[in-house]
Amino acid sequence: MQNLTINPQRLWDTLMETARIGGTAKGGICRLTLTDLDREVRDWFRAQCDALGCTVTVDEVGNMFATRPGKRADVAPIAIGSHLDTQPTGGKFDGILGVIGGLEVMRTLHDLGYETNAPLMLVNWTNEEGSRFAPAMLGSGVYAGVFDRAFADSREDRQGVRFADAIEGIGYRGDVAPGAVTFGAMFELHIEQGPILEAEGKTVGVVTGVQGMRWYEVDLTGREAHTGSTPMHLRANALLGASRVVERVNAIALAHAPLAVATVGLLEVKPNSRNVIPGHVFFCVDMRHPDDAVLDAMERELSEAVPAIAAEIGLEVSFRKTWDSPAVRFDPDCIASVRAATERMGLPTRDIVSGAGHDAAYIARVAPTTMIFVPCAGGLSHNEAESTTFDECSAGAQVLLNAVLDYDERFGR
């Protein structure tokens, strides 16, 4: 394998360039999937790939695949990918580092005229965040056969806009069936989104898998009434019920410490008036653990707690699971290529299991896959203050390049 080096300044400048698309006043990004801003960054991405001579293909759920030919057309491409969409208050690095890092790999090979054995493919997965259309990782999930296109098309955001209408609206409904564009392996570069690497002084996380995660939606319906004239014992306060469930969610996670986590991150109260007892509350629960058996236990505890709490207050309840992503173990050969890359560079590393969901978790079902993590300041992500350094981004992209070339030498011939 030749000693090829990325251009760190170009990588950083490109990250900052794309951060202006949907940039917020606090220095973050709001670029929700299938919005006009998503269309703008997609158009930018396509133009960069066209400039490198790549062939860009878009499938029916908007996943974008940019392919650079290799010496052998009979060998499946090696994919590099992540996502361009963000949270409503997202940062400059979550997701897009993996896409721009992959673009820098392509640019480096193009500049040096280096031809890999296998073709290379750069991927932008649709709706990874799930912040507009639930569940998360929808594009990669359809690609991997976890969901079908009809399911994706039927998803609605909180304003009632359907995924189908949104993707048609920005002009990114491709004509290729999901899964028809194939590849032989995938590497995803990402910030850790947690504090472990920074706390231990490690430059790179060698990701061995992703913990299991489940999402639930809960509706509690009571009775709206005047706050001043309704006695406490005659109330059916939906917000009181939701508050007790939130506390119970936290207690369930603590009971399965130290690896379990659980959160209520979205809550809508109606009618949301200061002198009206809340008659309806909608909220979402997120539970995660590396062991699916433990998640089963957490789910049982939650499913028993919600109706019991509702009954105590006299509330009607709707409880449904909207997403179930089992724990994932990544491919040993892909992991070995990442290890070889970090050893060659002499970087301090540690094995790590991802606490966050990523497209790689679904792609691992259909192709050899792994991930590369770099630190983020304070472990902070899904936040406008999300920060990763110039050197950390550079190291991650260089590891990505070296890992892909190592894998190509072993399996692309």
Binding residues for Zn(2+): 83, 94, 129, 190, 382
Q: Which of 403, 398, 382 is nearest to 191 (CA)?
A: 382
298-304 long-range contacts, CB within 8 A, separation 24+: 298/252, 298/253, 298/256, 298/260, 298/262, 299/214, 301/252, 301/255, 302/216, 302/248, 302/249, 302/252
Got the DSSP string for 172-231? ---SBPTT-S--SEEEEEEE-SSSHHHHHT-SEEEEEEE-EEEEEEEEEE---EETTTS-
- Alpha-carbon distance of 277 to 46, in angstroms, equals 51
CA distance 294 to 313: 29
Question: How wide is the angle at C-alpha 337 spanned by C-alphas 362 and 402, nearest 5°?
Answer: 105
Contact 212, 290 (CB under 8 A): yes
| Strand-pair partners of 370 | 187
Whether the Cβ atoms of residue 277 and residue 227 lie closer than 8 Å to each other: yes
Maximum distance among all Cα pairs of the chain, rounded to whole angstroms = 79
Q: Give bridge partners of residue 287 from the DSSP assignment.
A: 214, 262
Task: Tell me the two tokens of residue 162.
Answer: 């359907």
Q: Can you say which residues are annotated as belonging to the binding site?
A: 83, 94, 129, 190, 382
